Amino acid sequence: MSDEIWEYENEGAGGDEGEEDEHAVAERIDTAHADNPRLSAWLDEQREGFADWSRRHGGGWDFGERSLDRVEALIREHVTSVDDLFAREHTPLVQVACWYVGEVHNRTRGTRWRLDPDPADSHPWSRRPYVIVPFARLDEYRDPEGIDYDARPQHHPLSSFLTLLREGPTSGPASLRAELDDYEPGAGSGDDEE
């Protein structure tokens, strides 16, 4: 169960009359994360920066699955450690790379961008954009343990970069591309939050 659903259910969602069920709460949260000024501003900034980012990093970025191998190589080449990634998190190199990875997911697997409109200080990942399968496909994904109502796979591109850096340069390429398999129903939760 997401933190927001838990908080809603355990901190006064209302009385017995008109109380939302888990589906309604999950849908409301998804809608709020899908359409908000924070997300719009972030997406606009990355789209505007893409042409320069593309030119600086070899051009020919086609949003295809195999281009994720190029992003992986780019991150491994320019970012030396987890600490370095966090130090450079808000630079165009990292932010546009995050946007690009999410866009590949969107264009090849039908995911959509989301960002918490009111992030919690206690949950740093709520400040970062992620991609997730559209809410209309909620029923295709089930939590095998029956804990989470919303078991749609989601990916925070920054978390994917953390995984790359923890694997080290000797691990094989295509780690970013392998994440695309998470969107097959029954493939597991796919949630890559750290």
> CA 12, 150, 114 angle in degrees (round to 5)?
90
Residue 171 pLDDT greater than 80, yes or no: no
Inter-CA distances, 49 with 58, 106, 131, 132, Å: 15, 18, 19, 23
- The average pLDDT across 156-174 equals 79
Short-list 31, 33, 25, CA closest to 8 = 25
pTM value is 0.84
Picking from 65-74, 108-117, 127-136, 170-179, which range would have the lowest pLDDT averaged per residue?
170-179
In tens, the pLDDT along 84-133 reads 999 999 999 999 999 999 999 999 999 999 999 999 888 888 999 999 99
- Over residues 20-25, the mean pLDDT reads 87
